[in-house]
C-alpha cells in the first residue's frame, strides 16, 4: 500500500472516530495521515475541527489555517476558523474570515 493510500485510510478512520465523538482517537489518526501526506488539506481541516470540538481553539485555528494555506478554496475551513476566532472573542478576525468568504463568492 502506498503512503497516500495509508494516509487516506487513517483520515477515513479519523472521520469515523470523530463522528462517534472520539476526538482524541480521531486526532491521532489525522496526525498520522498528515505525517504520511503533509499536503493533505482535508486532514488538517478535519483535525482542526476535532480540536475545535474539544475546545482547543488555538490548535484548531493553527490546523484550519494550514488547511487554508494548502487549499485556499476550502470554504469550510474559513467558516470553522472564523467560528474558532469567535469563541476566542477575536471578532475582528471573524469579520476578516467572512470578508474572504464574501470575496470568494
- Is residue 93 within 8 Å of residue 85, measured between CB atoms? yes
Alpha-carbon span 53 to 102, nearest angstrom: 25
Look at 1-10, 44-53, 87-96 and tell me which has the smallest mean pLDDT. Answer: 87-96
pLDDT digits 0-9 by tens, 42-76: 999 999 999 999 999 999 999 999 999 999 988 88
Look at 17-21, 55-59, 89-93, 97-101 and tell me which has the smallest mean pLDDT. Answer: 97-101
- What is the average per-residue pLDDT within 15-25? 98
CATH fold for the domain made of 3-104: 1.25.40
Show the 3-state SS of 39-64: CCHHHHHHHHHHHHHHCCHHHHHHHH
With 0-12 / 13-18 / 19 or more C-beta atoms within 10 angstroms meaning exposed / middle / buried, residue 67 is buried
Which tops the pLDDT comparison, 9 or 79? 9
Average per-residue pLDDT for the chain:
88
The C-alpha cell of 69 is what? Answer: 494555506
Give yes or no for residue 105 having a pLDDT over 70.
no
Give yes or no for residue 41 having a pLDDT over 70.
yes
| Helix H or strand E encompassing 15 | helix 3-19
Which sequence spans correspond to the domains of the chain? 3-104
pTM of the model: 0.86
Amino acid at each position: 500500500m502506498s503512503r497516500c493510500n495509508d494516509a487516506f485510510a487513517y483520515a477515513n478512520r479519523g472521520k469515523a472516530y470523530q463522528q462517534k465523538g472520539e476526538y482524541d482517537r480521531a486526532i491521532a489518526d489525522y496526525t498520522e495521515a498528515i505525517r504520511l501526506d503533509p499536503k493533505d488539506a482535508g486532514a488538517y481541516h478535519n483535525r482542526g475541527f476535532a480540536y475545535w470540538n474539544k475546545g482547543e481553539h488555538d490548535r484548531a485555528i493553527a490546523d484550519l489555517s494550514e488547511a487554508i494555506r494548502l487549499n485556499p478554496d476550502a470554504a469550510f475551513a474559513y467558516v470553522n476558523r472564523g467560528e474558532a476566532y469567535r469563541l476566542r472573542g477575536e471578532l475582528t478576525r471573524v469579520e476578516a474570515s467572512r470578508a474572504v468568504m464574501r470575496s470568494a463568492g
